[in-house]
Amino acid sequence: MPELAVGLIGAGGIARAHLPAWLELGARVTVFTHDDSGARLAAEHADGRVRVARTMEELLEGSEAVDVCTPTHTHREVALAALRAGRHVACEKPLALTPGDVEEMIGEADRAGVLLFPAHVVRYFPEYAAMADAVARGAVGRPAVLRFTRTGTYPVWSPWFADPTLSGGILVDQMIHDFDFARLLAGDVVRVHAHVRGHQEAPAPAGCVAAATAVLTHASGAISHVHGVWGLPDAQFRTTFRVAGRDGVLQHDSAQTKAFRVISQGGRADGEGIPATNLTESPFLTELREFASAVTGGPAPRVTARDGLEAVRIAVAAAESARTGVSVETGAPGAHPGGAPGPQARNESQEVAR
């Protein structure tokens, strides 16, 4: 693979998961943060393979591609700056906090003729990739009922996670992975009903928990049930899925296979970790190799900017449903004639009448 000059923006847990992948890919990495955390991260690599930029402009000047690993509420601003400078962008999930912001980012990428890549790393976990391939081959027939669960510790190490105005809360920050997979397998989601319980505001004291459930109605008629938990500090990271169709069922439980583990990120708070697998290659490496290949003349990545947009559309509709207590139409393309500008709440009595 041709050497790629990568600008890494951020120095938190996700940046520390991405950086080893970039170095293994042979990239020349420059890191930028608004505080001294970037310099500390670079200093951990005494071989000089990681440079530090003093300004965003300096980082952009020396980069062909930018990897946005900053808190969610900053994604739009940071990514737009890179796109407007004509740089390819990989951006952590969710791409932004609203569908409108994501559409703006996609528009800028299109105008600049560069790639906007949503870093939905679960697409690259071997168990999930194998399941997606099996469904695409028709292993279960047309998916009819899908169930996903995702459990981890409450992310108390950074205060912005607990503030839904900054992170989107558990539905947007954590469960977006499974919303994305539900749509991948069963097609566009037209309606969401969701409920959240537990701690949902900053600050997040030690020992707090939150749980959410969302029911997705797909345009195909399939139904997806998604459950997420931000648990106690000793909660084991665990994911499950079950996909049923007329011709069969595919299911997986990470607690039974032990294929998942949580890897500690150097210099992070106790209990913070990023899920990885015990298999031969980090999914972060697989993900970023695909992005790097695409921006150096290879095939397009398996995850598109529209995938990122639709995942945000579903997650925001779920958050609105949890807030209002009614089901919410997503306004997904093709779901309604001419589309819809954004989530539209539906009263449950109207839903029954229909």
Segments of 175-259 assigned E as strands: 189-198, 210-218, 223-231, 238-245, 248-253
The whole-number average pLDDT for the span 78-106 is: 98
151: in domain: no
- Reduced to 3 states, what is the DSSP secondary structure of residue 18? helix
Mean pLDDT of the chain: 90
* Chain segment 61-76, per-residue pLDDT in tens: 999 999 999 999 999 9
The domain in which residue 102 lies consists of 5-122
* pLDDT of 147 over the 60 cut: yes
Higher-scoring residue by pLDDT: 310, 262: 310
Banded model confidence at residue 295, pLDDT cuts 50, 70, 90: very high
How many domains are contained in the chain?
1
Residue 51: the pLDDT is 96
d(CA 352, CA 113): 46
Q: Is residue 224 part of a domain?
A: no
State residue 333's pLDDT score: 79
161 part of a folded domain:
no
pLDDT for 83 beyond 70:
yes
pLDDT, tens digit (0-9, with 9 covering 90-100), for 222-270: 999 999 999 999 999 999 999 999 999 999 999 987 654 544 434 444 4
Percent pLDDT > 90 in the chain is 82
Q: Is the peptide bond before 99 cis (omega within 30 degrees of 0)?
A: no
**Cis-peptide into 203, omega within 30 deg:** yes
What pLDDT does residue 276 have?
A: 55
Indicate whether 345 pLDDT > 50.
Answer: no
User: Quick check: 47 pLDDT over 90?
Assistant: no
Residue 334 banded pLDDT, cuts 50, 70, 90: low
In whole angstroms, give the CA distance from residue 158 to residue 269.
Answer: 9
Q: Is the dihedral of CA 170, 317, 89, 57 positive or negative?
A: negative
What does the pLDDT read at residue 349?
31
Mean pLDDT over 326-344 rounds to 63
Reply yes or no on whether the pLDDT at 322 is more than 70: yes
202 in any annotated domain? no
Tell me whether residue 321 is in a domain. Answer: no
The verdict on residue 29 lying in a domain is yes
Question: Does residue 14 belong to any structural domain of this protein?
Answer: yes
Q: How confident is the model at residue 273 (pLDDT cuts 50, 70, 90)?
A: low
Rounded distance between C-alpha atoms, residue 291 and residue 65, angstroms: 10
Neighbours of 60 (CB within 10 A): 20
Q: Amino acid identity, residue 302? A: R
Answer yes or no: is 169 within a domain: no
pLDDT at residue number 278: 52
**Residue 68's domain is classified under what CATH number?**
3.40.50.720
- Comparing CA positions, the residue from 188, 156, 178 lying closest to residue 225 is 178
